[in-house]
């Protein structure tokens, strides 16, 4: 969390336009336990439970990253339905869905209307990728915002919903 605040300070000091450097965005992750079910409030230690890794800000295993149209990064979205799509439950007892809202340090966004699967960091001069949707002339149907630094995301709210 300290790293997140430090990075935010850095971005703010570089930001001469005065626009916000952070944005609240959804992320859907694989969940292998029952966290979020009635009475279950503590994170698990299942190796495959990406949700609990991220809740603990344990980024060592890279569960929060995926490989997509904009390379290997941390994929978030303004679209709750898209986050739900990636919020897979591997626990058969699960009766709910869980997505996270992060405070994401997007900084200066590169608005891209084409894929670049080789990316491992934002294009030079930018801090994040903001994928244009098909309505905007891009290649995705719903919003994707990609950051490449672990300290760019701060888990903020866990949303539990019936499925
Ligand atoms: Zn878990």
Q: What is the pLDDT of residues 73-124, one digit of tens each?
A: 999 999 999 999 999 999 877 889 999 999 999 999 999 999 999 999 999 9
The CA distance from 82 to 149, in Å, is 21
Q: Which residues pair with 128 in a beta bridge?
A: 109
Q: What angle do CA 4, 119, 131 make, to 5 degrees?
A: 75
The CA distance from 25 to 42, in Å, is 23
pLDDT score at 22:
96
Q: How confident is the model at residue 10 (pLDDT cuts 50, 70, 90)?
A: very high
Q: How confident is the model at residue 18 (pLDDT cuts 50, 70, 90)?
A: confident
In the chain, the number of structural domains is 1
User: How is the beta sheet containing 144-147 ordered, strand by strand?
Assistant: 66-68, 71-76, 144-147, 128-131, 109-112
**Phi/psi at 69 (5° precision):** -60, -25
pLDDT score at 163:
83
Res. 70: pLDDT tops 90: yes
C-alpha 32 to ligand 1 mean position (Å): 5
C-alpha 97 to ligand 1 mean position (Å): 13
Among residues 156, 13, 161, 4, which one has the least CA distance to residue 87? 161
Q: How confident is the model at residue 16 (pLDDT cuts 50, 70, 90)?
A: confident
Write the pLDDT tens digit of every residue in 25-58.
999 999 999 999 988 999 999 999 999 999 998 9
Domain range spanning residue 26? 2-162
pLDDT score at 91:
80
C-alpha 47 to ligand 1 mean position (Å): 9
pLDDT score at 146:
98
C-alpha 125 to ligand 1 mean position (Å): 37
Q: What is the CATH number of the domain that holds 84?
A: 3.90.228.10
Res. 15: pLDDT tops 90: no
Provide the residues around ligand 1 (an ion) whose CB is within 5 A.
33, 35, 44, 49, 52
C-alpha 55 to ligand 1 mean position (Å): 9
Res. 8: pLDDT tops 90: yes
Res. 1: pLDDT tops 90: no
Q: How confident is the model at residue 17 (pLDDT cuts 50, 70, 90)?
A: confident
- DSSP characters for 43-79? ----TT-HHHHHHTT--TT-TT-EEETTEEEEEEBS-
Token pair recorded at residue 39: 């009475």
């Amino acid at each position: 969390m300290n790293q997140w605040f430090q990075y935010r300070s850095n971005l703010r000091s570089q930001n001469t336009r005065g626009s916000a450097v952070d944005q609240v965005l959804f992320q859907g992750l694989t969940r292998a336990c029952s966290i979020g079910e009635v009475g279950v409030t503590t994170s698990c230690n299942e190796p495959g439970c990406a949700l609990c890794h991220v809740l603990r800000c344990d980024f060592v295993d890279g569960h929060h990253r995926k490989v997509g149209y904009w390379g290997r990064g941390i994929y978030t979205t303004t679209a709750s339905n898209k986050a739900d799509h990636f919020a897979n439950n591997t626990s058969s007892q699960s009766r709910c869905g869980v997505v996270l809202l992060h405070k994401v340090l997007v900084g200066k966004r590169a608005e891209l209307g084409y894929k670049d699967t080789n990316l491992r960091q934002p294009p030079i001069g930018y801090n994040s990728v903001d994928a244009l949707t098909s309505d905007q002339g891009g290649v995705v149907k719903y919003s994707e915002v990609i950051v490449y630094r672990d300290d760019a995301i701060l888990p903020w709210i866990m949303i539990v919903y019936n499925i």
